Amino acid sequence: MVVCFLMCLCYVQMSTLHWVFRNPFLCSLVEGFQAKFILLAMADEPTRKISLKALVNRGNKRVIFMESGHEFVDVLLSYLTIPIGTIIKLGRNNSNLAPLGIGCMNNLYASVVNMDVQHFRTEACRDMLLCPRNGAGSTLKSLKLKIDDCDPTQYFKCSNVSCRTSPARLSYYRSVRCCRCGNQMDSKSNLLVGCLDGVFVKGLARLIISDDLQVMPAVTSVSSSLLMKPGVMDSNTIEEVTLDIGVDEVIEYAKFVFRCRIVLSICLCAHLYQNHL
Whether the predicted pLDDT of 19 surpasses 60: no
Integer Cα distance of 45 and 192 in angstroms: 23
What is the pLDDT, as a whole number, of residue 5? 41
For residue 114, the model assigns a pLDDT of: 95
| Whether the predicted pLDDT of 42 surpasses 70 | no
d(CA 224, CA 137): 37
| Structure confidence at residue 216 (pLDDT) | 93
Kindly report, residue by residue over 136-181, the tens digit of the pLDDT: 777 787 888 877 765 666 777 777 776 766 666 777 666 677 766 7
Task: Give the per-residue pLDDT at 131.
Answer: 85
Q: What is the 3-state secondary structure (H, E, C) of the chain?
A: CHHHHHHHHHCCCHHHHHHHHHCHHHHHHHHHHHHHHHHHHHHHHHHCCEEEEEEEECCCCEEEEEEECHHHHHHHHHHHHCCHHHHHHHHHHCCCCCCCCCCCHHHHHHHHHHCCHHHCCCHHHHHHHHCCCCCCCCHHHHCCCCCCCCCCCCEEECCCHHHCCCCCCCECCCCEECCCCCCEECEEECCCCCCCCCCCCCCCCCEEEECCCCEEECCHHHHHHHHCCCCCCCCCCEEEEEEEECHHHHHHHHHHCCCCCCHHHHHHHHHHCCCCC
pTM, entire model = 0.67
Q: pLDDT tens across 130-140, in order?
A: 988 887 777 78
Cis check for the bond before 167: say yes or no (omega within 30 of 0): yes
Q: Is the pLDDT of residue 13 over 60?
A: no
pLDDT tens digits, 209-252: 999 999 999 888 888 888 888 767 666 788 898 888 888 888 88
pLDDT at 108 (0 to 100)? 92
Q: Tell me the C-alpha distance between 157 and 82, whole Å.
A: 24
Q: Which of 3-17, 135-149, 194-208, 258-272 has the lowest mean pLDDT?
A: 3-17
pLDDT digits (tens, 9 = 90+) for 47-83: 688 988 999 888 888 889 999 988 999 999 998 988 8
Instruction: Give the pLDDT score at 199.
Output: 84
pLDDT at 47: 63
- Look at residue 37 and tell me whether its pLDDT is greater than 80: no
State the pLDDT at residue 22: 47
Task: List all residues 6 or more positions away from 236 whose beta carbon is below 8 Å from its beta carbon.
Answer: none
Ordered by start, the domain boundaries in the chain are: 50-69+206-277
